[in-house]
Chain A
Amino acid sequence: MMRHMLDITDWSIAELNALMDTADDIIAHPDTYAHTMDRKKIATLFYEPSTRTRLSFEAAMIELGGQVLGFSEASSSSASKGESVSDTVRTVGCYADIIAMRHPKEGAPTVAAQFSPVPIINAGDGGHNHPTQTLADLLTIRREKGRLNRLVVGMCGDLQFGRTVHSLMSAMSRYDGIRFVLISPEELKIPGYLRENMRKQGVPLQEVEKLEDVIGTLDILYMTRVQRERFFNEADYVRLKDSYILDPEKMALARPDLSVLHPLPRVNEISHAVDQDPRACYFKQVLYGKFMREALILKLLEAKA
């Protein structure tokens, strides 16, 4: 049966672990994989702009020996003429072996998967899902920590609207011994359904407002941006804004084996001075994202080295 990558929770822990094993092997033996996708093509259908995700998919396919085609904004596609997602993927499926799609409408990749003759990868659908970012996050954590269980994971910033936060929590909550520390202003706490899911799974949650109060307890710190316009009032923004900016002073309170992740792009939530800290992993995360996309392409096309 043809598989797709639409939502990280559609994939079992065993399957995710196998993808990470493949990514590790690609990192260790890149030459072995250099021709696994010869004569294969990926179509990157990006209905809204994205720099790193599209380039990451394209780089991944090229490193496997394959080629890329596609578009990087809706205005240069037939969507601007009103073509449906279902017709577009049926057409592109005649040209390409696999499709990575980013779309501003939530659920667009699910529609695509219903009609596509080739595997669909969700490269981000509005505020809904972004599973390949979560694959990058998981591999980064596993390579940095050597495990994905028994970890205290801090999620900091906009936890209400951050799709990467929701996906990572859903994925990691399936591993044993995970405890989440949620650091956000009151108005940007995780959605109720996610809190309920965590409660049903028995995953402990601690919710706090200030990063400096808890940073010393964390194995992982996953930073996201807090936008000023998300706050209900200016006074709260002024009171709390510095709590969500990671700087060397806060890093001094953290454990020596902390790993700092960020889905990028960052604006000012991580000071550039932190980049030199060996605990800053967010650029490694970008690199690992590419390897996980390689592993995913190989898996979806049932290719082996």
Chain B
Amino acid sequence: MNIDGILNGYVIDHIQAGKAMQIYRHLKLDKLDCSVAIIKNAKSQRMGRKDIIKIDALIPIDLEVLGYIDPNVTVNVIRDGLRLEKKHLALPERVVNIIRCKNPRCITQIEQDIEHVFVLADRDKGLYRCHYCEVPHKPEERSDF
């Protein structure tokens, strides 16, 4: 794969340096048969250092997971070698089965087979709360799920 040129696929750009593997894992890119390139610590005028992921296929991408991990990334959709669309992401209103509640008193600790739902409580602070017990999941914990 020539990582500079994708015919049909995605370039996930402006990933905070060091988060590419987290995105790789949560988008389950290891399950893909197509080429996937991870560029770590690329130089960036705006960010200093950034990560980039290139995917050589137009597979369905869970933008909510992506927006939750890093709302500042941009997703470039490439078709026939041209950029068709540039998507800016944001923190999603709800995230389902991405993070688990750490509150030992929460029902999710004992109830099997229910969705783990977090609701965005404060967009400015990036604060989510468990849908069930409302205990906050702090923004700084977003990197260690």
Contacts and interface: CB of A to CB of B under 8 A. Distances in A.
Interface residues of A, number: 17
A85 B105 contact: no
B1 interface: no
A83 B103 CA distance: 21
A103 B110 CA distance: 12
B111 interface: yes
SS of B interface (majority): loop
B6 interface: no
B107 A107 contact: yes
Given A107-B131, A107-B132, A193-B136, A126 B105 contact: yes
Interface residues of B, number: 18
B111 A106 contact: no
Given A106-B103, A107-B106, A126-B105, A86 B111 contact: yes
A266 interface: no
A281 interface: no
Contacts of A86: 111, 113-114
A111 B110 contact: no
Contacts of A125: 107
Interface string A98-133: 000001111110110010000000000111100000
B32 interface: no
Nearest to B122: A196
A110 B134 CA distance: 11
B105 A84 contact: no
Nearest to A105: B107
B112 A106 contact: no
**Residue picked from B109, B112, B114, B135, most chain A C-beta under 10 Å:** B114
Given A84-B112, A84-B113, A111-B114, A106 B136 contact: no
Contacts of B109: 105
A107 B113 contact: no
A128 B133 contact: yes
18 contacts: A84-B111, A84-B112, A85-B107, A86-B111, A86-B114, A105-B107, A105-B110, A106-B103, A106-B106, A106-B107, A106-B133, A107-B108, A108-B107, A110-B131, A111-B111, A111-B132, A125-B107, A128-B133
Interface of A: 84-86, 103-108, 110-111, 114, 125-128, 193
Interface of B: 103, 105-114, 130-136
